[in-house]
């Protein structure tokens, strides 16, 4: 039959490789949440609850992957912070683990030896970095220099560091 | 970034380093946010936190609404508000202010504004509309940072309906000098492609430019789009293979800037993306796969470093190698690679190895044999995740010989698993395996008992349904059916006697149905016993009222004799006063039917559950009542939407103003392309209706329909001709009474449950031999899913052609012997005269000489004259018939096959004849023929060998179409060197842009082995569209009655005054629409979807475009039709 090289609504399967990314502390306190697909508040709350209880109850040295509904949960602990990324079932789990790791590296590069406090107090910066790194559930830029350069460029443009640090916002 | 920024950057390293100190956190903690955070950490209870946050939110609320708050303060407030939201407290009052901040703030404030918007709002939030103008402005800004921010927010969330407003600006950015802008623009378009694909159709060639971008980042971004597009249509992008291979070669060879390295691996994300594209392109395509072997080999070789990221690449590489056309050398290397994964001590790698193995064993089960000991170890792994993945693997290698062991392992896992989702999934798989491979009746019933008790109320509802269907429809042997049913009855009676308290409701429903229907089969069983068991069930507190209904119905079937009647009276008295109406109804039925045994025999005949029920969905039995009411002066019924419309509308034309020139209601165009994440694949792997799936060739996850199967259980299939299937070993065991059941249980458990023995190794060996039996070379080969069919114990009978919509018995109207030259010439000449007259009517403007071009350009809709012209010129082609086909498979086949077209179809316009599939000397082709009131699908079966093909059975099925055979007697054989033609008439059940028919043909060659081939045939919905002749008045009434609609702007054919007429004429000719009337700038058009589903179209010229509004009673029809209109105009 003829082949149709344009949109065909009947067999469109959406791929969102990543569904959400959560950062939470050992006590289960949420530090950052990013949802790559639309979700209701209710769903979000349920997921956050499920994730913290599932991930925190894992034994050390067990597999970094979990099943949750039809998704795979990839989690990793860095110091006191858990990073937890949900991907589609057929995705590559190891790669997702490296996505988390790369994000941590980016944070580290930006904050310099990043700790949980940096992310708590500057959570909006953590979001900016994430938005340069991942976009709509896909890897956007994997080059560390590029990401930092664009973050810093935005930082620099309007506000000098001095101003940023010395004065409280108002 | 801009040069200015870059300069600033280089000038500021000292400032930056300040920020990089850990002290940064402490410094900013003096801010209000810092105070808030510290305040929270000092609290001890959740309650205190709540109070503190509420106080905080009140103060934020006050400040944001104060006119004196500066944007700078607003920025700080938004950060605090997002923090509160993150803690789970709602701050919806701040949403509008976040939008305002994005709109009015300076760059840095804007950025916080955009961030807050993206964190606060969902994609479908109505406030997002307010962001459109801001985004528009920022996209046009000269400040690159603002452009970046706008693109970032657009690719995270943007109202679908508003895409046209910013699309040109985003498109423009593809040519921007800065690569970061180009990259973000590509990603924004990717987002658009996902949420509204038909809006970015026209810029596909620009994607190609992005793919060739000199910046690797932009190229990488464009691959996201390509991956998606290739997934949807791999055929359309085969020409990309060489470029993708070249790119991968360069990446693997380290030609990219060092900047892209990750732990000294060159651009791993890019590599993986490329590998995924390659596997899509090379799937089932030998020549394309050929191009990539070398680079795949190199990838395998290069990825040797001991790091997670290289394993991730290797995994993707292995998957690719097993997806594309196989090459033994690579397969060997890939298998070794999987071995390394599985044997690794690192648990993550082991997991991935199991996953790879699961993927691979479907094609090559011998690989599972190699790793059987590791798999056994994983089965007892302390980590449940590993265990679960191992079961998944075992599920794929289950066959009739190892089914008992594997199912036992699965049930074992089910008993310890607490997660509902896993339970649902596994229970479905167990049920599927049990239906497919059950060795005997007892095992089947007992396994299903466990499935029902464990799966209980979380299992998919189709499992009990399909089980009951299986029981009631029965199999090929009446005696077997009786035994199975009787065993089920006995088993359930003993279950009920043991105390039904713990059994889930669904199971109780199954039990009551089976007892009601079949307890008479068990001779020693007294109906009174069953009745008393059932009434005990009724009295139980744990029984839900839905289950009680089932029980009452079962009792109604059983209440025979004096004892029965008295029980019935007692029960019906109790329940006829129940508050539940359904129960009351059942109780009434029970009461009446128990007193009148004749009536009961008529209403509930024994063994009649498989008679199809006739449901009068039009409620015609109410006609009398309605006409009486009408005669008495009642108003005729109008559906709610019609009532509303009539209030608002009066005229037939120009029914509603077209508000904005932007196509606001695009939303209905792409219904269904947003799905909730968890819903995406819920139903796919779990279907209990597994038989349907196995018909299509194997497993639920691999889609094999219509795909030539290259790999079988024993490896590459095309090497061997055909393999005898091993006969089933099991002998149907005699029925055992429940008292013997315990014994049966024991004997079952011996193999699966390892009893503690001094030598654990030996025990594992034993388990291994029982798990992996049937995977070796001596086992049966699964050829095109055929062996699944024969090995299956519980095979459903073929459905009767009248009752089911899907498969129908295949017939053909004429068996055509090889035609002699004279015959076919005569035949063709006769047709010729016929055709030309027809053709003159259809397309008077195209002379026959031109039609050759026409038909090649668009074979679907135009009248195809080619073959006749050519046949007249070279009559010799016809004489050679089948022989020519072998030399040049495409064109001549069409020529010679077209002469076999049934006479009544020969004058009509038809599509080109396309090859569907071939199996040795048997070739299947098909075309569709458009009649005035019908669409016929003609399947040609060409047997080019000398020997006959017998016991042929052709079955067609489709989700979207109703397929019915035209001829009465089914064709069962094709003689050597001849062609058989089967004709089907198709109507649309569920409209979709392209509709597809899937088919299976099973047959027996002269050698005597059963074979089968699968194929699929796609045709556009446009082939089902016919003109609908109505008057303007009729159009008006119909318009009001239809509820499904869609609106879109189409391009006009010409710019002048006649543009409407010209455009409508194009549509009329291409899509066979009927133009009802054209008044000035407006036109109304009508058509129908065969046989008689109307669709109306209202067109109006509006600001240089054609605003089209489609309405129909059929959902999806307007959306599909608008798509074809769009295409018709594009092609013109």
> What pLDDT sits at residue B853?
41
Nearest CA in chain A to B182: A140
Average pLDDT value for residue range B963-971: 76
Choosing among A138, A144, A147, A166, which should be mutated to test the B contact, i.e. which has the most B CBs within 10 A? A138
Window B:400-429, CB contacts with A under 8 Å: 419, 421-422
Integer Cα distance of B522 and B1012 in angstroms:
40
Average pLDDT value for residue range B878-895: 41
Helix (H, G, I), strand (E, B) or coil at B21: coil
Between the alpha carbon of residue B442 and those of residues B439, B554, B734, B741, the distances in Å are 9, 23, 9, 8
B102-111, B200-209, B581-590, B1046-1055: which has the minimum mean pLDDT? B1046-1055
Residue B154's nearest CA partner among A80, A131, A164, A170 is A131
Number of Cβ within 10 Å of residue B521's Cβ equals: 19
Q: What residues in B contact A129, CB-CB < 8 Å?
A: none
* Per-residue confidence band for B609, with pLDDT thresholds at 50, 70 and 90: low
Integer Cα distance of B533 and B880 in angstroms:
75
CB atoms A135 and B32 under 8 Å? no
Integer Cα distance of B406 and B412 in angstroms:
10
CB atoms A112 and B72 under 8 Å? no
Q: Tell whether A1 is covered by a domain.
A: no
* Per-residue confidence band for B799, with pLDDT thresholds at 50, 70 and 90: very low
> What are the start-end ranges of the E strands in B562-665?
none
Q: What is the mean pLDDT of chain B?
A: 75
As a whole number of Å, the end-to-end CA separation of chain A is: 68
**Which tokens is B541 given?**
């507190």
Integer Cα distance of B645 and B1019 in angstroms:
36
Q: What residues in B contact A101, CB-CB < 8 Å?
A: 308
User: What is the torsion angle, in degrees rounded to the nearest 10, for the CA atoms of residue B564, residue B570, residue B574 and residue B576?
Assistant: 60
Average pLDDT value for residue range B419-447: 89
CB atoms A124 and B112 under 8 Å? yes
> What pLDDT sits at residue B292?
93
> What pLDDT sits at residue B417?
83
3-class DSSP string for chain A: CCCCCCCCHHHCCCCCCEEEEEEEECCCCEEEEEECCCCCHHHHHHHHHHHHHHHHCCCCCCCCEEEECCEEEEEEEECCEEEEEEEECCCCHHHHHHHHHHHHHHHHHHHCCCCHHHHHHCHHHHHHHHHHHEECCEECCCCHHHHHHHHHHHHHHHCCHHHHHHCCCC
The more confident residue out of B156 and B13 is: B156
φ/ψ of B927, rounded to 5, equals -150, 165
Report the Cα A102 to chain-centroid distance in Å.
Answer: 10
Integer Cα distance of B669 and B878 in angstroms:
47
> What pLDDT sits at residue B895?
55
Q: Tell whether A107 is covered by a domain.
A: yes
Q: What residues in B contact A163, CB-CB < 8 Å?
A: none
> What pLDDT sits at residue B814?
37
Helix (H, G, I), strand (E, B) or coil at B1064: helix
Reported as a single tens digit per residue, the pLDDT across B307-329 is 889 999 999 999 999 999 999 99
Integer Cα distance of B109 and B76 in angstroms:
9
> What pLDDT sits at residue A46?
93
% of chain B residues with pLDDT over 90: 18
Instruction: Give the domains, in start order, of chain B with CATH numbers.
Output: 1-18+26-120 (no CATH), 340-394 (no CATH), 395-602 (1.25.10), 902-1023 (2.60.40.1230), 1028-1131 (3.30.310.10)
CB atoms A98 and B309 under 8 Å? yes
Report the Cα B339 to chain-centroid distance in Å.
Answer: 33
Reported as a single tens digit per residue, the pLDDT across B705-718 is 444 444 444 444 44
The more confident residue out of B700 and B1127 is: B1127
Does the pLDDT at position B138 exceed 90?
yes
> What pLDDT sits at residue B795?
52
C-beta separation of A79 from A119 below 8 A: no
Q: Which of B723-727, B836-840, B995-999 has the highest mean pLDDT?
A: B995-999
> What pLDDT sits at residue B694?
37
Number of Cβ within 10 Å of residue B1124's Cβ equals: 19
Name the residue range of residue A88's domain.
18-165
Does the pLDDT at position B185 exceed 90?
yes
- Counting Cα atoms < 13 Å in the Cβ hemisphere of B130 gives 17
Number of domains in chain A: 1
**Which tokens is B505 given?**
């409701």
C-beta separation of B413 from B387 below 8 A: yes
CB atoms B18 and A161 under 8 Å? yes
Number of Cβ within 10 Å of residue B602's Cβ equals: 10
Reported as a single tens digit per residue, the pLDDT across B533-552 is 888 888 888 888 889 999 99
Q: Tell whether A129 is covered by a domain.
A: yes
C-beta separation of B994 from B860 below 8 A: no
Reported as a single tens digit per residue, the pLDDT across B894-913 is 556 777 777 777 777 888 88
The parts of chain A modelled with pLDDT lower than 70 are 1-16, 142, 144, 152-170
A156-165, B35-44, B92-101, B984-993: which has the minimum mean pLDDT? A156-165
% of chain B residues with pLDDT over 70: 74
Does B315 contact A at CB distance below 8 Å?
yes
pTM above 0.80, yes or no: no
Nearest to B1019 among A1, A68, A140 (CB): A1
A147-161, B241-255, B688-702: which has the minimum mean pLDDT? B688-702
The more confident residue out of B640 and B211 is: B211
Q: Which residue has the tokens 């209202």?
A: B1098
Average pLDDT value for residue range B503-508: 90
* Per-residue confidence band for B167, with pLDDT thresholds at 50, 70 and 90: very high
Between the alpha carbon of residue B42 and those of residues B29, B36, B48, B77, the distances in Å are 14, 10, 10, 22
Choosing among B6, B19, B384, B706, which should be mutated to test the A contact, i.e. which has the most A CBs within 10 A? B19
Integer Cα distance of A69 and B210 in angstroms:
37
C-beta separation of A71 from A81 below 8 A: no
3-class DSSP string for B965-980: ECCCCCCCCECCCEEE
Give just the sign of the alpha carbon dihedral B112, B114, B115, B119: positive
B50-59, B420-429, B844-853, B955-964: which has the minimum mean pLDDT? B844-853
C-beta separation of B438 from B793 below 8 A: yes
Helix (H, G, I), strand (E, B) or coil at B257: coil
Q: What residues in A contact B194, CB-CB < 8 Å?
A: 14-16, 136
Q: Which of B582-586, B890-894, B915-919, B1004-1008 has the highest mean pLDDT?
A: B582-586
Integer Cα distance of A79 and B271 in angstroms:
31
Does B566 contact A at CB distance below 8 Å?
no
Between the alpha carbon of residue B369 and those of residues B361, B364, B374, B394, the distances in Å are 10, 10, 10, 11
CATH code for the domain in which residue A52 is found? 3.30.450.60
Window B:536-565, CB contacts with A under 8 Å: none
Q: Which residues contact B593 (CB under 8 A, 6 or more apart)?
A: B556, B559, B599, B600, B603, B604
Integer Cα distance of B405 and B407 in angstroms:
6
Does B994 contact A at CB distance below 8 Å?
yes
B14-18, B57-61, B643-647, B787-791: which has the minimum mean pLDDT? B14-18
> What pLDDT sits at residue B1009?
72
**Which tokens is B193 given?**
């492609």
Report the Cα B672 to chain-centroid distance in Å.
Answer: 12
C-beta separation of B525 from B489 below 8 A: yes
Integer Cα distance of A56 and A27 in angstroms:
8
The more confident residue out of B588 and B830 is: B588
Q: Tell whether A11 is covered by a domain.
A: no
Integer Cα distance of B116 and B1123 in angstroms:
37
Reported as a single tens digit per residue, the pLDDT across B359-408 is 888 777 888 888 888 888 888 888 889 999 999 999 988 888 889 999 99
Average pLDDT value for residue range B61-84: 90
Q: Which residue has the tokens 């024994």?
A: B606
Integer Cα distance of A58 and A64 in angstroms:
9
Average pLDDT value for residue range B580-584: 88
The more confident residue out of A135 and B92 is: B92
CB atoms B1 and A136 under 8 Å? no
Does the pLDDT at position B924 exceed 90?
no
Helix (H, G, I), strand (E, B) or coil at B481: helix
> What pLDDT sits at residue B30?
58
> What pLDDT sits at residue A139?
81
* Per-residue confidence band for B1007, with pLDDT thresholds at 50, 70 and 90: low
Report the Cα B961 to chain-centroid distance in Å.
Answer: 16
Q: Tell whether A143 is covered by a domain.
A: yes
CB atoms A158 and B27 under 8 Å? no
C-beta separation of B186 from A165 below 8 A: no
Reported as a single tens digit per residue, the pLDDT across B107-131 is 888 989 999 999 998 888 888 889 9
Does B681 contact A at CB distance below 8 Å?
yes
| ipTM score of complex | 0.84
As a whole number of Å, the end-to-end CA separation of chain B is: 44
CB atoms B28 and A122 under 8 Å? yes
Q: Which residues contact B138 (CB under 8 A, 6 or more apart)?
A: B110, B146, B147, B149, B150
CB atoms A10 and B351 under 8 Å? no
A15-24, B21-30, B334-343, B793-802: which has the minimum mean pLDDT? B21-30
Between the alpha carbon of residue B254 and those of residues B6, B200, B248, the distances in Å are 27, 34, 10
The more confident residue out of B469 and B615 is: B469
Q: Tell whether A85 is covered by a domain.
A: yes
3-class DSSP string for B681-743: CCCCCCCCCHHHHHHCCCCCCCCCCCCCCCEECCEECCCCCCCCCCCCCCCCCCCCCHHHHHH
Nearest to A5 among B86, B122, B236 (CB): B236
The more confident residue out of B887 and B525 is: B525
H or E, element range at B1012: strand B1010-1020
Using DSSP bridges, classify how beta strands B978-988 and B814-816 pair: parallel, antiparallel or unpaired.
antiparallel
Integer Cα distance of B102 and B104 in angstroms:
6
Choosing among B11, B24, B192, which should be mutated to test the A contact, i.e. which has the most A CBs within 10 A? B24
Does B709 contact A at CB distance below 8 Å?
no
Burial B938-954 (b: 16+ CB within 10 A, else e): bbbbbbbeeebbeebbb
Distance from CA of B860 to the nearest CA of A (A): 8
User: What is the full DSSP assignment across B1013-1034?
Assistant: EEEEEEEEGGGGEEE----HHH
Q: Which residue has the tokens 């069930």?
A: B537
Burial B260-294 (b: 16+ CB within 10 A, else e): bbbeebbbbbbbbbbbbbbbbbbbbbeebbebbbe
* Per-residue confidence band for B813, with pLDDT thresholds at 50, 70 and 90: very low
Window B:220-239, CB contacts with A under 8 Å: 221, 224, 227-228, 231-233, 235-236
């Amino acid at each position: 039959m003829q082949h149709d090289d344009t949109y065909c609504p009947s067999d469109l399967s959406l791929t969102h490789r990543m569904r959400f990314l959560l950062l939470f502390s050992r006590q289960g306190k949420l530090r950052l949440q990013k949802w790559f697909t639309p979700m209701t508040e209710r769903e979000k709350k349920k997921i956050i609850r499920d994730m913290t209880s599932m991930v925190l109850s894992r034994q050390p040295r067990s597999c970094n992957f979990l099943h949750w509904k039809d998704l795979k949960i990839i989690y990793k602990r860095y110091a006191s912070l858990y990073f937890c990324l949900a991907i589609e079932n057929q995705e590559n789990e190891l790669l997702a683990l490296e996505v988390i790791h790369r994000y941590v590296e980016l944070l580290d590069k930006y904050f310099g030896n990043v700790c949980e406090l940096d992310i708590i107090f500057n959570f909006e910066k953590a979001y900016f970095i994430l938005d340069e790194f991942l976009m709509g559930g896909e890897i956007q830029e994997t080059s560390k220099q590029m990401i930092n350069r664009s973050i810093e460029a935005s930082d620099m443009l309007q506000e000098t560091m001095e101003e940023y640090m010395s004065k409280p916002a108002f | 970034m801009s040069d200015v920024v870059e300069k600033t950057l280089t000038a500021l390293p000292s400032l930056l380093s300040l920020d990089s100190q850990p002290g940064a956190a402490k410094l900013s903690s003096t801010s209000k946010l810092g105070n808030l955070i510290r305040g929270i950490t000092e609290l001890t209870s959740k309650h205190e936190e709540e109070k503190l946050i509420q106080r905080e939110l009140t103060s934020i609320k006050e400040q944001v609404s104060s006119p004196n708050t500066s944007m700078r303060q607003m920025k700080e407030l938004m950060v605090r508000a997002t923090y509160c939201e993150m803690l789970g407290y709602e701050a919806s009052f701040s949403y509008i202010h976040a939008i305002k901040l994005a709109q009015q703030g300076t760059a840095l404030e804007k950025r916080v504004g955009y961030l807050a918007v993206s964190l606060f709002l969902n994609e479908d939030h109505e406030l997002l509309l307010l962001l459109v103008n801001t985004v528009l402005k920022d996209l046009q800004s000269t400040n690159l940072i603002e452009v970046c921010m706008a693109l970032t927010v657009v690719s995270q969330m943007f109202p679908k309906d508003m895409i046209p407003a910013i699309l040109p600006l985003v498109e423009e950015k593809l040519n921007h000098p800065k690569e970061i802008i180009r990259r973000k623009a590509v990603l924004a378009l990717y987002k658009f492609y996902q949420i509204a694909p038909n809006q970015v159709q026209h810029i596909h060639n620009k994607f190609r430019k992005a793919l060739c971008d000199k910046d690797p980042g932009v190229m990488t971004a464009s691959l996201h789009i390509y991956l998606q597009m290739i997934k949807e249509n791999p055929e359309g992008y085969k020409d990309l293979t060489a470029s993708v291979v070249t790119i991968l070669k360069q990446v693997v060879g380290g030609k990219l800037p060092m900047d892209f390295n990750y732990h000294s691996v060159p651009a791993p994300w890019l590599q993986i993306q490329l590998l995924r594209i390659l596997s899509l392109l090379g799937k089932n395509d030998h020549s394309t796969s050929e191009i990539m072997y070398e680079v795949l080999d190199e990838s395998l070789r290069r990825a040797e470093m001991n790091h997670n990221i290289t394993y991730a690449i290797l995994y993707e590489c292995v998957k690719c190698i097993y997806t594309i056309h196989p090459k033994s050398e690579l397969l060997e290397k890939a298998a070794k690679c999987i071995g390394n994964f599985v044997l690794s001590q690192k648990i993550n790698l082991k997991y991935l190895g199991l996953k790879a193995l699961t993927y691979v064993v479907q094609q090559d089960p011998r690989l599972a044999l190699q790793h059987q000991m590791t798999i056994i170890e994983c089965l007892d792994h302390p980590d449940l995740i590993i265990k679960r993945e191992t079961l998944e693997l075992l599920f794929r290698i289950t066959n009739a010989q190892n089914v008992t062991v594997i199912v036992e392992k699965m049930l074992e896992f089910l008993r310890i698993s607490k997660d509902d989702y896993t339970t649902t999934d596994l229970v479905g798989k167990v049920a599927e395996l049990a239906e497919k491979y059950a060795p005997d009746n007892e095992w089947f019933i007992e396994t299903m008992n466990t499935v029902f008790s464990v799966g209980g109320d979380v299992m998919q509802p189709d499992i009990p349904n399909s089980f009951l269907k299986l029981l009631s429809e029965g199999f090929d042997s009446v005696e077997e059916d009786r035994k199975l049913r009787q065993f089920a009855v006995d088993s359930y009676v003993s279950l009920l006697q043991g105390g039904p308290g713990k059994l889930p409701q669904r199971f109780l429903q199954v039990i009551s149905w089976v007892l009601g229907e079949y307890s008479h089969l068990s001779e020693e069983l007294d109906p009174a016993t069953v009745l008393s068991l059932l009434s005990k069930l009724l009295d139980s507190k744990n029984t839900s009222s839905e289950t009680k209904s089932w029980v009452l119905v079962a009792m109604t079937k059983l209440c025979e004799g004096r004892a029965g009647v008295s029980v019935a009276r007692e029960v019906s008295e109790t329940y006829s006063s129940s508050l539940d109406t359904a129960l009351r109804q059942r109780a009434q039925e029970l009461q009446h039917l128990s007193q009148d045994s004749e009536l009961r025999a008529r209403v509930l005949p024994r063994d009649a559950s498989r008679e199809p029920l006739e449901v009068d969905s039009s409620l015609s039995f109410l006609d009398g009542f309605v006409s009486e009411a009408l005669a008495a002066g009642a108003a005729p019924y109008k559906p709610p939407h019609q009532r509303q419309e009539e209030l608002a509308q009066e005229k037939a034309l120009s029914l509603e103003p077209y508000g904005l020139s932007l196509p606001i209601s695009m939303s209905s165009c792409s219904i269904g392309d947003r799905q909730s994440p968890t819903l995406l694949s819920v139903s796919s792997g779990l279907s209990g209706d597994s038989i349907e799936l196995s018909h299509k060739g194997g497993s639920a996850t691999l889609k094999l329909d219509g795909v030539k199967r290259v790999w079988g259980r024993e490896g590459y299939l095309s090497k061997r001709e055909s393999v005898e299937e091993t006969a089933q070993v099991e002998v149907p065991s005699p029925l055992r009474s429940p008292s013997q059941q315990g014994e049966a249980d024991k004997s079952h458990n011996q193999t699966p449950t390892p009893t503690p023995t001094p030598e654990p190794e030996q025990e594992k060996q034993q388990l291994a031999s029982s798990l992996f039996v049937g995977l070796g070379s001596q086992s049966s080969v699964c050829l095109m899913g055929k062996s699944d069919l024969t090995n299956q114990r519980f095979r459903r009978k073929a459905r009767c052609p009248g009752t089911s919509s899907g498969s129908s018995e295949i017939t053909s109207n004429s068996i055509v012997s090889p035609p002699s030259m004279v015959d076919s010439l005569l035949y063709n000449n006769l047709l010729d005269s016929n055709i030309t007259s027809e053709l003159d009517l259809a397309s008077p403007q195209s002379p026959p000489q031109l039609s050759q071009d026409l038909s090649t350009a668009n074979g679907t809709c135009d009248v195809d004259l080619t073959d006749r012209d050519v046949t007249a010129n070279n009559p010799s082609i016809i004489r050679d018939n089948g022989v020519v086909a072998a030399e040049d498979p495409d064109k001549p086949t069409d020529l010679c096959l077209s002469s076999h077209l049934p006479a009544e179809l020969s004058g009509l316009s038809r599509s080109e004849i396309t090859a569907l599939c071939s199996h040795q000397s048997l070739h299947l082709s098909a075309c569709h023929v458009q009649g005035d009131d019908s669409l016929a699908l003609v399947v040609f079966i060409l047997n080019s060998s000398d020997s006959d093909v017998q016991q042929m059975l052709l079955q067609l099925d489709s989700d979207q179409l109703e397929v019915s055979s035209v001829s009465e007697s089914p064709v069962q054989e094709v003689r050597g060197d001849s062609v058989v033609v089967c004709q089907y008439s198709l109507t649309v059940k569920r409209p979709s842009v392209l509709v597809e028919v899937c088919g299976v043909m099973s047959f027996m060659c002269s050698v005597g082995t059963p074979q089968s081939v699968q194929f699929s045939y796609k045709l556009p919905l446009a082939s089902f569209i016919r003109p609908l002749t109505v008057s303007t008045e009729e159009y008006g009434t119909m318009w009001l009655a239809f509820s499904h609609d869609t609106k879109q702007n189409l391009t006009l054919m010409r710019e002048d005054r006649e543009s409407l007429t010209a455009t409508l004429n194009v549509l009329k000719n291409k899509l066979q629409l009927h133009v009802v009337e054209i008044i000035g700038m407006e036109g109304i058009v009508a058509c129908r979807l065969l046989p008689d589903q109307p669709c109306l179209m209202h067109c109006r010229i509006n600001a240089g475009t054609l605003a089209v509004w489609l309405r129909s009673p059929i959902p999806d029809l307007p959306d599909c039709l608008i798509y074809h209109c769009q295409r018709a105009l594009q092609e013109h």
